[in-house]
Structure 1
Amino acid sequence: MTDVPLPEGAYRDALSDVVALLEDGRREAARSINALMTATYWLVGRRIVESEQGGQGRATYGQALLQRLSTDLTKQFGRGFGADNLELMRLFYQSYPPSETSESVIRKSPTRVSRAKSESPIRKFSLQQLAERFPLSWTHYVRLMR
């Protein structure tokens, strides 16, 4: 079998197409990761709010919770988990309450969830489904909340 050289124009077209595919894939991957992280931050905010509501002396307890979480999460995951950022996650959850988020996710879901259960419908969805509710990056939501 003899290798026949590819004409230069055909090669440039093939290379251009492959480069475009790779760039599109990377862009979509980054967009997907941003949406998943934003949904995760919403869930972290929900957990912080739930912890605060379970305690007494809410304001004092809440600040102590944020400080302790900040210390432990920073040790485990590195930067990005300062008390101020955790406060933003709490505010994010409060700004986009489960009732609004649930409705949006349920409407897009191929299998609708019954409302007869006492548990919030949002708890029954995957992180990917919740991420569809938050298509913007975390930075965009932070700006919207401010």
Structure 2
Amino acid sequence: MAYREAYFEEEQQGQERADYGVFLIKELSRQLIEEFGKGFDERELRRMRQFYQTFSIRDALRPELSWTHYRIILRVDNPTARQYYITETAEQSWSTRQLERNINTLYYERLLSTQSKREALLDQEKMEKSSSFDVIKNPYVLEFLGLENPVGYSESDVESAIISNLQAFLLEMGKGFSFVGRQYRIKTDTKVFYIDMVFYNYILKCFVLVDLKINELTHQDIGQMDMYVRMFEDLKKTEGDNPTIGIIFCAEKDHTLVKYSMLEENKQLFASKYRLVLPTEEELRVELEREKQFIREQIERKG
């Protein structure tokens, strides 16, 4: 009986403290607005309190970030993800709009999924020599192209939209990418081929070839990209360049096809889905969970 009375007394005191806290913020807001003008409503004061509770150590703050940057980052619950967005925003000079988009499209989680894949597929020696898995995401979100799905568009339409939105596309691709050419011409003794897009990554120190497919990935697509990579290695790569990487952007990707194709063992070839509309957070999480399940199955099969 005494325990129950103590419980209700503590609960009542907690409610009283909560009520007092609401009153205090409301009254403080009124006084600040009266003295300094707009910008001190109750919601803004709660954000300030949350900011102080989250970043109580002043040295953890980055001067490159504005208050608006921090307001957006406060929405991220995961402390590790939050620190990632702080660091990347400062180092990559993300605008508040770019930061908000990356959070909404689970940028950190998509990279994390890629790194998990790397750990699952590469042994320790290869992991130390390769970081290409760190920049290849799946899926890529290309809502900024302004193409709606599933309207009738061609691969050329997607390619043209990317070139028109090249800066946003490079940011979605990741760190260190620079554009080399569109419909890049590569010639053998007997034939001429055209690669949709060619990039160079100055962090990886290698060329990155991109082939666009508006339909589901096929083994012919994989074979074609493998040929492009081999040709680039032989005809274009210069001394000091690391192995060329090929990425096939496809609307759909069958994991069974991936498992039984050269994508399984070839560490220079990747197939990534792309989304032309901004998916919901739940849709992206389902996509990432599907990738993780595929990784788990690979580990079990090799174990």
Shorter-normalised TM range? 0.3 to 0.5
**Which structure is higher in helix share?**
1
**Which structure is higher in strand share?**
2
Higher relative contact order (CA 8 A, sep 6+): 1
Larger Rg: 2
Q: Structure 2 length as normaliser, TM-score?
A: 0.19
